Chain A
Amino acid sequence: MSSRIWHIASNTFREAVRDRVLYNLIAFALLMSGAAVLVGQISIGIERLVVINLGLTAISLFGLVIAIFIGIGLVSKEIDKRTLYTVLSRPVRRWEFIAGKFFGLSGTLVVNTFFMAIGVFIALLYVSHHLTHADAGVLVALYFIILQFVILTALALLFSSFSSPLLSAVFAFSLFVIGSFAEDLRGFARLSHGIARWLATGAAYLVPNFSALNVVSQVAHQVSVSRQLIAYNTAYAVLYTLAVLSATALIFERRNLK
């Protein structure tokens, strides 16, 4: 990574910390400690299940909100504050600015997820008194959640490069919902006929596939995730993110900032 991208990324991370983004960790800590104490009393026999489901879902939702609401402001905020002109007047290319912003927010989300993951494992240890080999599956689910955040950050940046913050949030959130039902969408496509089938299949393959990245229920039930799926999902997330970032760079390069 060039030093210019690195500088923009570290500044984005610092800005997110200054904006008190990581304060969500307090809310998460309260949620997990409350859940860990409560589930022991009200959900006999499925404490582990509840903690994993609740913990991973909360991590996913907290990250989703951060990725979308910080992501949509990454470009527009810089334009509004006119700081973008200062940055671009230096030897920084527009695509480097986009890449830096992307890595900065992704880094913030990874750090955030890391601390929340510690919270989940502490809660898990509290309710089950020990960790088993099967709990390693939670790490896979966490890894997939991070891949979701990476794709979402790229999408939020894409919309932010040409649209208003409000519309960008709507677009990004809608794509997250659609992407979460991507496998059903392809099922719908298979059931349709003629041109509708082609159109539906095209759309189904174009939207991000968040459903394959959601293995929360699977790991909560201690069903292992295949190495093949981990490899494919990683490659998919990288390629899809690359495609979205390329589209963002293309749009941003052509955007008239005067």
Chain B
Amino acid sequence: MKRTQRIAAAASATLVFSLAASTLLLWRIDQIRSTATLDEALYVTSPKLLKRLSLGYDGLLADIYWTRVVQYYGAMHRDGGGEYKLLWPLLNLTAQLDPKLTRTYEFGGTFLSSKPPMGAGLPDRAVELVEYGIRENPDNWHLYYDLGFIHYDQKNYSAAADAFLRGSELPNAHPVLKMLAARMAEHGGDIETARMMWTTTYEDSSDKDIRENALLHLRALKVDQDVTALEHLAEVYKQKFKVFPLSFRDMVVAGLLKGIPVDPTGHEYKLEPGGKVIVSNPDDLPFIVKGLPPGYVPSDILKSKPAK
């Protein structure tokens, strides 16, 4: 083998080995610095400073911060939730860097206001963020809808009605806003209003997380309605036979049900002694109010991490 060939062979071997080893090391570095880029939001909290530092490339920086929001929320949600401590600063920085990036307000409005483990449980921050979005994008009816939704979720029906009404006055507004504004005044706490709200959110949003959140709420509403109806039927059974039914089969035999009832995820409801109806898979139905097994603690809370 010639000298140049020996050098080429040695250099090639070194190149391949070094590159492979450095890639492995990088993978390890990533593991010990898993939230390093996100932690910047704790250090650089001033959007004005960040805007200056971006040297005019604030749009690109906003896009980078937006992907950090998605990664942060996705990773926290996957790991069972938590306090989402960085969600507000990350969203605030993104919104200030690019006020026209409306996904920020839609996402922020939903997950800042939602209670843990689904969100940060910061409805005031959510209102602040969406109000800022409205000031920067006054012709976008979706933002009024988001604002109204946050107020509705907080049971502040008059503020919700006001937001829906403001949005409905825009020339391109969705007709549902006018309807929601009217419903808020009289039927704010109705299950039907809730269903209408979550259905609109599900149909209107293109964000995967928001749609999933809306779907979970719609399922929860269905379960709450089902449990109420089934427990009422168990009462009817008792009035007829002087005892509560031992199973749904008894109610089918009595002609009160056509079959064994199932929840929206396809699992059968359970009938407890005393006519109480519970779901068999409460972890899959995080927002239900009725039908929870006695002493149930959501597994999300059990496995949730401390504040991040």
Residue A236 at the chain B interface, CB threshold 8 Å: yes
User: Is residue B71 within 8 Å, beta carbon to beta carbon, of the partner chain?
Assistant: yes
Whether A249 contacts B7 in the complex (CB less than 8 A), given A181-B64, A211-B36, A212-B33, comes out as: yes
Quick check: which of B14-22, B83-91, B249-257, B274-282 contacts chain A, the rest being far away? Answer: B14-22
Interface size class of A (residues with CB under 8 A): 35 or more
A contacts with B: majority SS: helix
Pick from B23, B44, B67: contact of A217, CB under 8 Å: B44
**Looking at the complex, which of A14-22, A118-126, A164-172, A187-195 is the stretch in contact with chain B?**
A187-195
- Residues B29 and A232 in contact, CB atoms below 8 Å apart: yes
The answer, among B11, B21, B43, B68, for a CB contact under 8 Å with A246, is: B11
> In the complex, what distance in Å separates the CA atom of A190 from the CA atom of B39?
19
| Chain A residues whose C-beta falls within 8 Å of the C-beta of B12 in the assembled complex | 246, 250
Task: Say whether, besides A95-B11, A184-B64, A217 and B19 are in contact (CB < 8 Å).
Answer: no
Residue of B nearest to A49 (CB): B43
Nearest chain B CB to A90's CB is how many angstroms away? 16
Closest Cβ neighbor of B72 among chain A residues: A187
Is A9 interfacial (CB 8 A cutoff)? no
Selected A-B contacts with CB under 8 Å, 5 pairs: A232-B32, A236-B26, A243-B14, A253-B8, A253-B11
B14 engages A242 (CB within 8 Å) = yes
Residues in chain B near residue A246, CB distance under 8 A: 11-12, 14-15, 18
Q: Is the CB of B68 within 8 A of A187?
A: yes
Q: Which residues of B contact A236 (CB under 8 A)?
A: 22, 25-26, 29
Residues facing B in A229-248 (CB within 8 A) are: 229, 232-233, 235-236, 239-240, 242-243, 246-247
The answer for the CA separation of A94 and B25 in the assembled complex, in Å, is 30
Alpha-carbon gap, A183 to B30, bound state (A): 8
Chain A 200-247 residues near chain B, CB threshold 8 A: 205-206, 209, 211-212, 217-218, 220-221, 226, 228-229, 232-233, 235-236, 239-240, 242-243, 246-247
